């Protein structure tokens, strides 16, 4: 018989190496899937890990995918480090897009470029309102934040659908469910002509620096992390769990809402019901692969962007199913969880189980 028991001191080196090990295992399993589907595994891996990096245009597209993942994952890292399980970042992303779109639709012929700042601010506030509902229900009624945040995703999607199919529907849009195309003055400025990469890249870099400073160089960040690691010690030290709850969820909602505003005022240029592509859920994987550390999340968001773009390329060029993106994302998460299990636990041989004596022997 074997027993899984906790290690006295998990390896710090292996803790940081496990995402790389998980990626290697994911690639090996991916090779097997390509062979099973009758596809050339070399070509398949090339679609996922080479083609998205072959040119400046490809790298520009990579950043377009990476920025929303990075921003949402940064906010989730604050929650998870505080032991607050916000699973509904997708809904906060949608509401941020809705709020940002409302601001963008107020622009007129005389509006200046200053409205871009208001769009981003509106998106952050929209995400905060949605995550604030989770915080309120948890604080006031002790509602489970996992269920509440997750269910609010579907409420947010229905609200978005109501707007684009109803009052916000473009009257000149040939009956398509979408808003008007936003004026050019509202578009997020691009970094270079001819490329879709925009100032969201710079905003994401600033967010990484700000979050690192907040978590590791401020007293409030220290309080949040102590509350997540040792709730009893936090209470003994007088740290407020209520303040930690509201702070973590509002920061997380603001980051997700900001990502939504950047998306509608950037690559999309209007609000449609197809805004939701799972960034809020994929960002959970991004956060954990990045070890809930701002710098680690930068690399994990780029990796997840490779999966998104690689899945699209594999579908169009190799005829692979669209689900390959989700398959690689899921494989990465499960292999990471498996690696973490072995880092924090070990198998110990305890011998054969002792059988209970028969009643006749007892007599």
Query: For residue range 291-311, what is the model confidence (pLDDT) as tens digits?
Result: 999 999 999 999 999 999 999
Say if residue 230's pLDDT is above 90.
no
Angle (CA) 182-192-287 rounded to 5° is 80
- pLDDT tens figures, 246-255: 999 999 999 9
Angle (CA) 165-137-213 rounded to 5° is 90
What residues does each domain of the chain span?
1-39+320-354, 52-317
268 C-beta neighbours (distance < 10 Å), count? 18
Average pLDDT over residues 144-163: 96
The pLDDT value given to residue 23: 93
pLDDT band of residue 361 (cuts 50, 70, 90) is low
pLDDT band of residue 341 (cuts 50, 70, 90) is confident
**How many Å apart are CA 228 and CA 33, to the nearest integer?**
38
Q: What is the 3-state secondary structure (H, E, C) of the chain?
A: CEEEEECCCCCHHHHHHHHHHHHHHHHHHHHHHHHHCCCCHHHHHHHHHCHHHCCHHHHHHHHHHHHHHHHHHHHHHHHHHCCCCCCCHHHHHHHHHHHHHHHHCCCCCCCCCCHHHHHHHHHHHHHHHHHHHHHHHHHHHCCCHHHHHHHHHHHHHHHHHHHHHCCCCCCCCCCCCCCCCCCHHHCCCECCCCCCCECHHHHHHHHHHHHHHHHHHCHHHHHHHHHHHCHHHHHHCCCCHHHHHHHHHHHHHHHHHHHHHHHHHHHHCCCCCCCCCCHHHHHHHHHHHCCCCHHHHHHHHHHHHHHHHHHHHHHHHHCCCCCHHHHHHHHHHHHHHHHHHHHHEEEEECCCCCCCCCHHHHC
**How many Å apart are CA 67 and CA 135, to the nearest integer?**
26
- pLDDT tens figures, 157-204: 999 999 999 999 999 989 999 999 999 999 999 999 889 999 999 999
The pLDDT value given to residue 351: 66
pLDDT band of residue 225 (cuts 50, 70, 90) is confident
CATH number of the domain at 52-317, please?
A: 1.10.3470
State the pTM of this model: 0.92
The pLDDT value given to residue 352: 65
Return the higher-pLDDT residue of 11 and 317.
Answer: 317
**Percent with pLDDT over 70 in the chain:** 96
**How many Å apart are CA 282 and CA 261, to the nearest integer?**
18
**Of the candidate ranges 2-16, 144-158, 214-228, 322-336, the one whose mean pLDDT is the lowest:** 2-16
The pLDDT value given to residue 357: 58
- pLDDT tens figures, 109-134: 889 999 999 999 999 999 999 999 99
Average pLDDT over residues 194-217: 95
The pLDDT value given to residue 9: 81
pLDDT band of residue 362 (cuts 50, 70, 90) is low
**How many Å apart are CA 40 and CA 63, to the nearest integer?**
28
pLDDT band of residue 355 (cuts 50, 70, 90) is low
- pLDDT tens figures, 20-68: 999 999 999 999 999 999 999 999 999 999 999 989 999 999 999 999 9
The pLDDT value given to residue 358: 59
Angle between helices 41-49 and 294-318 (to 10 degrees): 130
As a whole number, the mean pLDDT across the chain is 91
Distances (CA, A) of 359 to 40, 78, 256, 354: 63, 58, 64, 15
């Amino acid at each position: 018989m074997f027993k899984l028991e906790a290690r006295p001191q998990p390896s710090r080196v292996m803790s940081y190496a496990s995402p790389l090990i998980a990626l290697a295992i994911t690639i090996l399993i991916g090779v097997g899937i390509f062979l099973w589907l009758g596809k050339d595994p070399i070509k398949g891996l090339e679609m996922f890990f080479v083609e998205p990096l072959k040119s400046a245009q490809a790298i520009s597209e990579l950043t377009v995918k990476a920025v929303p993942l990075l921003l949402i994952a940064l906010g989730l890292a604050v929650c998870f480090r505080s032991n607050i399980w916000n699973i509904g970042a997708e809904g906060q992303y949608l509401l941020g897009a809705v709020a940002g779109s409302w601001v963008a639709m107020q622009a007129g012929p005389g509006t200046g470029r200053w409205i871009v700042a208001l769009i981003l601010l509106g998106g952050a506030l929209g995400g905060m309102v949605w995550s604030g509902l989770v915080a309120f229900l948890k604080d006031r009624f002790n509602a489970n934040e996992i269920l509440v945040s997750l269910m609010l995703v579907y409420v947010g999607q229905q609200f978005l659908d109501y707007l684009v199919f109803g009052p916000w529907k473009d009257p000149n849009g040939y009956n398509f469910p979408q808003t008007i195309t936003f004026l050019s003055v509202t578009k997020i400025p691009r970094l270079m002509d001819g490329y879709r990469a925009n100032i969201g890249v710079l905003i994401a870099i600033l967010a990484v620096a700000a979050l690192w400073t907040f978590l590791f160089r401020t007293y409030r960040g220290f309080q949040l992390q102590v509350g997540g690691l040792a709730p009893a010690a936090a209470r003994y030290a007088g740290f407020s769990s209520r303040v930690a709850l509201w702070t973590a969820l509002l920061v997380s909602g603001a980051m997700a809402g900001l990502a939504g505003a950047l998306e509608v005022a950037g690559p999309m240029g209007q609000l449609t019901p197809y805004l939701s592509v799972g960034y809020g859920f994929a960002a959970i994987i991004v956060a954990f692969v990045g070890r809930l550390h701002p710098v680690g999340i930068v690399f994990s968001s780029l990796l997840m962007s490779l999966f998104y773009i690689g899945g699209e390329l594999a579908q169009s060029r190799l005829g692979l199913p669209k689900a390959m993106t989700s398959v690689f994302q899921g494989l990465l998460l499960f292999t990471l969880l498996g690696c973490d299990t072995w880092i924090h636990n070990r198998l110990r041989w305890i011998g054969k189980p002792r059988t209970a004596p028969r009643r006749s022997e007892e007599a």
